[in-house]
Amino acid sequence: MTYTVNCSILLTELPLLERPAAAKAAGFDAVEFWWPFETSVPADSEIAKFENAITDAGVQLTGLNFNAGNMPGGDRGLVSWKGRCSEFKDNIDVVAGIGERLGCTAFNALYGNRQDEFTPEEQDELAVRNLVAAAEGVARIGGTVLLEPVSGAPRYPLLTADDALRVIARVKAEAGVGNIKLLADFYHLAVNGDDVESVIENHAKDFGHIQIADNPGRGAPGTGTLPLGEWIARSRELGYDGYIGLEYKEPQETAFSWAIREHAAK
């Protein structure tokens, strides 16, 4: 199994720039991150430190979020956030530059929460324009934009796979953009009541990325009741050949105990 460690939610006992090396020490060769900076356009020195932490650790960066705002504060993306359009557009070149230098081609664009002062239609029109710009911006490095349904954010409008797929279909229909795909986070889909088995059967071959956590609790595989192994295996059978993102909450000392057990059982 080709796993990639999300270093924005795992290994958080360590400073962010020490986490890639910790993932490598735990036996993994790939990492992914949410946006690791405070601003959409950080200083060149900040970017260099981040990139060096990954290359020095000897791991591959497999995924990176566009700036999603203040995630701890409840923000969930700038794509449909009216008033921050220029900030999102400026972020695209930075994201693509990091991707080009580190060989990363998957970029998660969180859609954004609903705003009281604008209609959903107004926000959705902006989202289409921003997603087109993002897709065109990363296309030059062979990149793909990912769109993700999310749980636990009451004002986030993309809850199911169909919600995201409708946006993707609109972007493709209006702009002919093809490099935008569904990020299937099995935890979020399950928590939101989506039929994960059906999503896999109908769309696995077209997934842009898979992420996993168990439920309840968003813990490590095996701490809850989700059949994550079966879902991953079926996705593989149906054509998904990408990484499996480990995006769950677990203390560093036990973060990968399930993987050690899984390896020992083979």
With H, G, I as helix, E, B as strand and everything else as coil, classify residue 18: helix
**Among this protein's residues, is 247 annotated catalytic?**
yes
Name which of 84, 79, 45 is nearest 65 in CA terms.
79
| pTM score, whole prediction | 0.96
Domains of the chain in start order, with CATH, are: 3-265 (3.20.20.150)
Q: How far, in Å, CA of 84 to CA of 230, rounded?
A: 40
> Do 221 and 229 form a contact (C-beta atoms < 8 A)?
yes
pLDDT in tens, 42-77: 999 999 999 999 999 999 999 999 999 999 999 999
Classify the phi-psi angles of 16: left when phi > 0, otherwise alpha if psi is within -120 to 50, otherwise beta.
Answer: alpha
**Quick one: pLDDT at residue 250?**
98
Specify which residues 31 forms β-bridges with.
5, 61
Q: Give the residue ranges of DSSP H helices in 76-156.
A: 85-102, 120-139
Q: Active-site residue among 230, 247, 250, 262?
A: 247
Mean pLDDT, 10 residues at a time, the chain of 266 residues: 93 98 97 98 98 98 98 97 97 98 98 98 98 98 98 98 98 97 98 98 97 98 97 98 98 93 58
Q: What ranges make up the beta strands (E) of the chain?
A: 3-6, 30-33, 60-65, 106-108, 144-147, 180-185, 209-212, 244-246
Block residue for tokens 């972007």: 171
**Quick one: pLDDT at residue 266?**
52
Element (DSSP H or E) covering residue 46: helix 44-57
Specify which residues 185 forms β-bridges with.
211
Name which of 190, 215, 191, 192 is nearest 200 in CA terms.
190
Q: Active-site residue among 121, 136, 148, 174?
A: 148
**Among this protein's residues, is 237 annotated catalytic?**
no
φ, ψ for residue 209, nearest 5 deg: -170, 155
